[in-house]
Structure 1
Amino acid sequence: MTSPRYDAVLLLGFGGPESREEVLPFLERVTAGRNVPKERLAEVAEHYHALGGKSPINEQNRALAAALEEALRARGIDLPVRLANRNSPPFIVDVLRELAAEGATRLLAVITSAFSSFSGCRQYLDAVEQAREELGEGAPVVDKTRTFFNHPLFLDAVAERVADALAQVDEREAKARLVFTAHSIPLAMANACDYVAQLEDACALVAARLGRSEWQLVFQSRSGPPHVPWLEPDIETHLRALAQIGKKSVVVCPIGFLSDHVEVVWDLDRVAASLAEELGLEMVRAGTVGTHPKFVAALAEIVEERLGLREHRRAEGAFPALPDRCAPNCCRYEAQRPTAEPTRPRS
C-alpha cells in the first residue's frame, strides 16, 4: 500500500434531511438569512414528505464514499473516505474535528459537483475554511481535487446511462430527442464562472459518444424571486416546445447532477414526467452516474493525481484539465438575496 501525504479523503456533499423531523431544520439552515416565510418553507418541505420524509442524497453519497475507498484500495492507496456535508450531519466542522482527534493533519477534498460555479464549488471551499477557522489551531489542512466535468471516464459513465435510457424508447430510439439538464443558477453567478461553457462542452462530448449530433441543454430547479434572471430555457418550457413541433419521445439526462436526489426525482420524475404525459410525450429519464464504476474510477484517478501517482491528467474537449487549486476569487459573485422564496436545496 502507498503511504500518501494525506490522512483521509473528504467527500464534500450538500447534505439533506434523513427523517421528517429533520426536514424543516434543514430547510431553515439552507435559507438562513434570506427572510423566507415559514409558509413557503412548509410548502417545500411537502416535497420531502411526499418522498417519505427524507432525501436520498446522504445514502447515495455514503455509497459513493465506500465505492471510492474500495477503488483506491484496489490501486494500492490506503486512505479512508469520509462524507462531510455543508447543510446536514455529518457537518464538515464535525468531521474535521473527529479526524483531527484521530491525528489527521492533511486531508484531500473531493466535491460532489462536476462543474464550476459559486454554489457547486466555491461555497464548499468557503465552508471548509469556515470550519477550519472554527476549530482553530490544529485544524487539518484541506486541499482539493480538480473539477472533473471533462474527465473521459466521467463522460463515459454519463454516456452509458444515456444509452440505457435510449434503449427504453424501443423503435423510436433514432427519433427520440436528447435533452441534458442542469441546475439553473442566477445569470450573475453564471457570468462569474465557466458553468455554462463546461456544461455545453460535456454535453457535446457525451452526445458524440452516442453518435448524436442533435441535443439540447436546458435547466431545472430554478428558485428565487421572478425579477432575478436565471439560466433558461427550463425543462418544462422545452418539453412544451417539443410537443408543439410534433416530437413524440425525449430522453432526459440530468448531467448536472451526480445522484438521484430530491431535485432529480421530484423535478424530473414527478413534475417533468407528469407534464410530458399531459403533452403526449414519451419521456425516459437517464440515470445519474451515482456509483457507476467508470465514474468512481474517474474520482480515483483525480485523487491519484493529487498524490503524485499519475503523470498524465486526462481531459477531453475545449478545456484542459483544470488546476487543483482555484484562484482566490474564482466563481465569486454578489448574490441578490430573495425575500419571498427559498433557494431550493440541492438534495
Structure 2
Amino acid sequence: MDRALDPAPYDALLLLSFGGPEGPEDVLPFLENVTRGRGIPRERLEEVGAHYRLFGGVSPINEQNRTLLAALREDFARNGLDLPVYWGNRNWAPYVTDTLREMARDGRRRVLVLATSAYASYSGCRQYREDLAVALAALREEGLPLPRVDKLRHYYNHPGFLDTVAEGVLAALEELPAEVRDGAHLAFTTHSIPTAAADTSGPPAGHGPGGAYVAQHLEAARRVAAAVAGATGVERPWALVYQSRSGPPIPWLEPDIVDHLTALSERGAPAVVMVPVGFVSDHMEVLYDLDTEALAAAKDLGLPAARSATVGAHPRFVAAIRGLVAERAAAERGGDPPRPALGALGPSHDLCPVGCCPARAAKPAAAGADSPFH
C-alpha cells in the first residue's frame, strides 16, 4: 500500500452529523431531541415543525449523508484507502451511541471522526465532542471495549472545500439574467449563534468579539470571493450574514439574511447570490430559510437572486476528506504531512485545547485535550 494512503493507526472513520426527521411522525420527536433541556415551548416546536411539513416532514440531511457516506466509501476504495466508514447522528437515527456500539462490537479501536460542520463553535464542534463522550460512557457502562476517538481538524479553509464552494457560486451566477450578473453582490450565509457563543469559539487565545466562528467564516468568504473574481474578472461586493436564528431573546450574530436583502434592495444592488458557506449540505435551514423564505423576500423586493450549492458529496470535497484522513493518520504515526489551508489563518489544530468552545454547562467531551477517555 502507498504509505500516503495508510490509515494506520485508525481502523474506521465515523461520519458524525446532526440528523433529521424522515416523515411527518418524526418531526416533533426530532425537535424535542434537538431542544431537550432548553425549555423551548411546545408552540415554538409546532411553529418550526410547520417548516418541515412543507417538505413532507422530511429533512434532506439524512439522504445527503447517505450520499456522502456512499461517496466516501467509493472514493476510499478507488484510491486504495482501506478504511471502513460508519455513520451516526446527534438527534435522529442512526444515533451516534448505537453506531459507536456497532463499531466497538466490530473490533474498531481507533476511530477518526468527520463532523459535518467545518467551523469552530460550541454547536459545531464541542457539542459533537460531548455527544461522543456520552456515547463512550454508555459503552463503558455496558462493559464494551472503548475505542479511542479523534476528530478531523476544521476544514473551512481547505482548498477542496473552498474551491467547491466557489464552483457553486459560479454556477449560481449563470442563473441570473445576463444584464445584472456582473453587478451581483455575494451574501455569504451561516447559522446565527448567540454572540456570547461566538466570542468564546475556538481556542482561548482567540476569544473576543466574534471569536474563531466569525473569523473563520470571514476568511472562507474572502477566499471564495477572490476565487470568483479570478474566474470572472469581476470583483463583487460581498458580506457575511446570518440565518436560522432560533433561541432566547439575547444578542445573536447579525445581520439576518432577509434584513440584508432589504438593505441591498434599498441601496440599488442589481442582484445577489446567496452562498450558504456555513453549511455542508442542503438541510432544512437551507431549504426553508434560503430557498423558501429568503428567495420569496428577494422576489417581493424585485431583487434578482440565486442560491449557490452546498458542497454535499462533490468529488472535490470527498477527495479533500480523503486527504484529511491521510494527513491525520500520518501525523499520528509521527510524520509531518502537508496540511493544505488557504488564507492567513492556516490549518486548524488537530486536538481541541482545554477551554476551546466552552460548554454552556460543564460536560465531558471526547476527542480533545480535556477528554476523560484518552
Q: Do both share a fold (TM > 0.5)?
A: yes
Match of 2:182 in 1: 174
CA distance in 2, matches of 1:128, 1:178: 36
SS of the aligned residue for 1:165 comes to helix
**Equivalent position amino acid for 1:96 in 2:** L
For 2:266 and 2:347, locate their aligned partners in 1 and report how far apart those are by CA, in whole Å.
Answer: 40
Shifted more, 303-312 versus 101-110: the winner is 303-312
- Is the Cα contact below 8 Å between 2:19 and 2:89 reproduced in 1? yes
Q: Matches of 2:22 and 2:185 in 1, distance apart?
A: 36
Question: Does the alignment pair 1:326 with 2:338?
Answer: no
Cα deviations by residue, 1:160-191 (Å, 9 ceiling, x for unpaired): 00000011113221011111100000000000
- Corresponding residue of 1:343: none
Greater Cα shift, 302-311 or 195-204: 302-311
Matched to 2:295, the amino acid is A
Q: 2:328 aligns with which of 292, 306, 329?
A: 306
2:287 counterpart residue number = 265
How far, CA to CA, are the matches of 1:34 and 1:255 in structure 2?
27
Equivalent of residue 26 in structure 2, options 17, 22, 38:
22
What are the superposed Cα offsets for residues 284-323 of structure 1, whole Å, 9 maximum, x if unpaired?
0001111111111111110111121872111111111112
Conserved in 1, the CA contact under 8 Å of 2:188 and 2:239?
yes
Distance in 2 between residues matched to 1:237 and 1:333, nearest whole Å: 30
**d(CA) in 2 for partners of 1:40, 1:217:** 27
The reply on whether 1:222 has 2:271 as its aligned counterpart is no
The answer to whether structure 1 residue 11 and structure 2 residue 8 are counterparts is no
Q: Aligned pairs, how many?
A: 334
Given candidates 116, 121, 138, the residue that maps to 1:117 is: 121
* Counterpart amino acid of residue 261 in structure 1: H
Counterpart amino acid of residue 296 in structure 1: V
User: What residue in structure 2 maps to residue 106 of structure 1?
Assistant: 110
1:30-179 equivalent positions in 2, closer than 5 A: 30-136=34-140, 137=143, 138-171=145-178, 172-179=180-187
Q: In structure 2, how many angstroms separate the alpha carbons of the residues matched to 1:214 and 1:184? A: 21
Aligned residues of 2:52 and 2:59 also touching (Cα < 8 A): yes
Structure 2 SS opposite 1:5? coil
- Match of 1:117, as an amino acid? S
2:271 counterpart of 1:253: no
Q: Give per-residue Cα distances to partners, 1:122-169, cap 9 Å, x unaligned.
A: 100111011101110512111111100111111100000000001111
Gaps of 5+ in 1: 336-347
For residue 255 of structure 2, the aligned residue among 233, 238, 259 is: 233
CA distance in 1, matches of 2:359, 2:23: 34
Report if the CA contact (8 A) 1:4-1:77 is conserved: no
How far the C-alpha of 1:334 sits from its partner, in A, is 3.4
- Whole-angstrom CA distance in 2 between matches of 1:41 and 1:210: 39
Q: Any idea what SS the aligned residue of 1:175 has?
A: coil
Cα distance in 1 for residues equivalent to 2:268 and 2:124: 36
Residue 214 of structure 1, CA deviation: 2.1
TM-fit CA distance, 1:231 = 0.3
What is aligned with 2:318?
A: 296
Partner of 1:188: 196
The amino acid across from 2:159 in the alignment is: P
Amino acid at match of 2:59: S
Q: What is the match of residue 342 of structure 1?
A: none
Identity %: 51
For each residue in 1:52-105, what CA deviation from the matched residue of structure 2 results, as whole angstroms up to 9, or x when unmatched?
111110110111121122222222111111111011111111001111111111
2: CA distance, partners of 1:190 / 1:26: 25
4+ runs deviating over 6 angstroms = none
Note the residue ranges of structure 2 that are not aligned, 5 or more in a row. Answer: 202-211, 230-234, 362-374
Matched position secondary structure for 1:216: strand
